[in-house]
Chains A and B, each alone.
Chain A
Amino acid sequence: MRSWVTLLCALIVVVTVPGLAGHASAQASDLRFPQKVEAGTAFSVSTTGSGSATLYIIGPGDTIRRVVHLGESISFGPDDLHNAGHYVAFLVSGSSTQNAQFEVTASHQAATLSFLAKPSRLPVNLPNGVSGVAYVFDIFRNLILQPQQISFELSDSSGRAQIRSATSRDGVAWVKMNSAAKAGPAQFQAEVASVRNKRVIQQVPGDPCSIRMTAHGLGQKDKARVALETEPVRDCNGNPVPDGTIVTFTETYQGGQSMVDVPLKRGVAKTELPSHNGAVISVASGVVMGNEIRWSGGL
């Protein structure tokens, strides 16, 4: 009875550990590859026996078939295996096959950076508004999994820069940075071991900080209208708000209201409204309210 239980346990182990049989055969191999080989390096593997055999090396990155002489070393040049990954090897001689497995690892020398910077356009002075993600590759386009120190630099149009560094983990590093106070194109650069990749981020002014307008009559020219004009509209960092931003003038008078939307032109908004004595005129852009004027020069 006990032997049946033992047998059943053995069956369960074999069934639930599918790699068991495979590992056993791999361990029985006489073919001795180095456990790890750096991509693009030469190495050799010794063989035993005599006669010729066919060597197969198979992986998702490279495939090699080569006729070799048993008893001699098999040499691999720098160009033979350059894609990082796990490889299986078979040395077939007649009815006998020797197996091996080994890894090709990425070179430690960074050669390219895949750099994603987002967004490409954002308001000034936004905390953690810019994100940068960098993947580090070697010359063979293998992801370098060993930690690498990556420097990120975001410099605005006046040359002021924020610098952060991050250590890559499993080939990737990332940062978040604040957008600058000054509007204009900013250079966002990632650098590792003198390999650089640059992106341009457009930093645009934020919403108007405050709006101030003046009103004056048109005199003899047109006594029935009042001229309204804002001062140059700026965001809270002093950047001119872009032309085209809509400014709304509203005039409220006894028995009525007049409203006009005007785009900023050269930083200011201008318009004319009917002149009503005692009217209240206000100005706004988006959610930002400007000053109010009580007009007493009308008809």
Chain B
Amino acid sequence: MTPTSVARKTLLAAVPLLAALFLSAAGQPTVHVAPMDSVGPRPVEQQTRSSIVRDYLQAWQSMGTALGENRPDLLDASFVGLAKDKLADTIREQRSLGIASSYRDQSHDLQVVFYSPEGLSIQLLDTVEYDVEVRDHGKTVGTQHVRTRYVAVLTPTESRWKVRVFQSGS
């Protein structure tokens, strides 16, 4: 075995590890946001543009932690109404079965498609990639990588935008 082939095999074996290290080091998901200049019927102000993206991404963090720790109270900060009810139901189901699921979002491709005339709801589409890991009574069942599209409707509250509708699928 030549030194070159040894090095090649070593590097090949290290590829998944390096990739994992790279991703975990990155931590935050990559985010692409489509321009919002042509969103209608209401124009999206600059401050709204940044807060909607910030609050939506925070909602993903809240959901991931809430489903991972089976704590519906963690949804309060980012979800309201229908979306909160449905996620809370799922957490109750998970808890009763002894199951936990961890959602780690890796990338978001966001497009705001509707901002209502009176400014009370904003809708965005998100082509998202995430890993979902499932544990049954603490033991890992498996992990799958998912790429799908989410539709989210956010409404303003006292201090932030909260997710009212949160649904994946095309």
A270 to chain B minimum Cβ distance, whole angstroms, is 40
A142 to B166, CA, bound (A): 9
Chain A residues, CB < 8 A from B144: 22, 25-26, 88, 90, 99, 101
> Which chain A residues (143-197) contact chain B, with CB distance < 8 Å?
143, 145, 169-172, 174, 176
Which residue of the partner chain A has the closest CB to B121? A133
A298 to B56, CA, bound (A): 73
> A103 with B169: in contact, given A14-B16, A170-B125, A174-B41 (CB under 8 Å)?
yes
**Contact, CB under 8 Å: B93 / A105:** no
**Contact, CB under 8 Å: B18 / A15:** yes
> Which chain B residues (99-130) contact chain A, with CB distance < 8 Å?
99, 101, 103, 106-107, 113-114, 116-118, 120-121, 123, 125, 129
A216 CB within 8 Å of chain B: no
Chain B residues, CB < 8 A from A170: 113-114, 123, 125, 151
Q: Which 3 residue pairs spanning A and B have beta carbons closest together?
A: A22-B145, A131-B117, A118-B118
> A61 with B86: in contact, given A15-B18, A86-B169, A116-B118 (CB under 8 Å)?
yes
Query: Residue among B15, B148, B167 with the most chain A CB within 10 A?
Result: B167
Chain B interface residue number, banded: 35 or more
Which residue of the partner chain A has the closest CB to B148? A86
**Contact, CB under 8 Å: A143 / B151:** yes
A215 CB within 8 Å of chain B: no
Chain B residues, CB < 8 A from A84: 167-169
**Contact, CB under 8 Å: A116 / B167:** no
B36 CB within 8 Å of chain A: no
B115 to chain A minimum Cβ distance, whole angstroms, is 10
User: Taking beta carbons and an 8 Å cutoff, which residues of B are in contact with A?
Assistant: 4, 8, 11-12, 15-16, 18-19, 22-23, 41, 63, 67, 82, 86-87, 90, 93-94, 97, 99, 101, 103, 106-107, 113-114, 116-118, 120-121, 123, 125, 129, 131-132, 134, 136, 141-148, 151, 153, 165-170
A231 to chain B minimum Cβ distance, whole angstroms, is 38
A19 CB within 8 Å of chain B: yes
A176 to B121, CA, bound (A): 15
Q: List 11 A-B contacts (CB under 8 A).
A: A19-B106, A63-B93, A116-B121, A118-B117, A133-B121, A141-B82, A143-B167, A170-B113, A171-B165, A174-B114, A174-B116
A85 to B153, CA, bound (A): 15
> Which chain A residues (58-107) contact chain B, with CB distance < 8 Å?
58-63, 65, 83-86, 88, 90, 92, 97, 99, 101, 103-106
Chain B residues, CB < 8 A from A131: 41, 116-118
Chain B residues, CB < 8 A from A143: 151, 153, 165, 167
Chain A residues, CB < 8 A from B143: 22
User: Taking beta carbons and an 8 Å cutoff, which residues of A are in contact with B?
Assistant: 3-4, 7, 10-11, 14-15, 18-19, 21-23, 25-26, 54, 56, 58-63, 65, 83-86, 88, 90, 92, 97, 99, 101, 103-106, 116, 118-119, 131, 133, 135, 141-143, 145, 169-172, 174, 176
**Contact, CB under 8 Å: A60 / B99:** no
A141 to B166, CA, bound (A): 11
**Contact, CB under 8 Å: A18 / B129:** yes
**Contact, CB under 8 Å: A85 / B169:** yes
> A56 with B136: in contact, given A15-B22, A133-B121, A143-B165 (CB under 8 Å)?
yes
A264 to chain B minimum Cβ distance, whole angstroms, is 31
> A7 with B90: in contact, given A56-B134, A86-B169, A172-B114 (CB under 8 Å)?
no
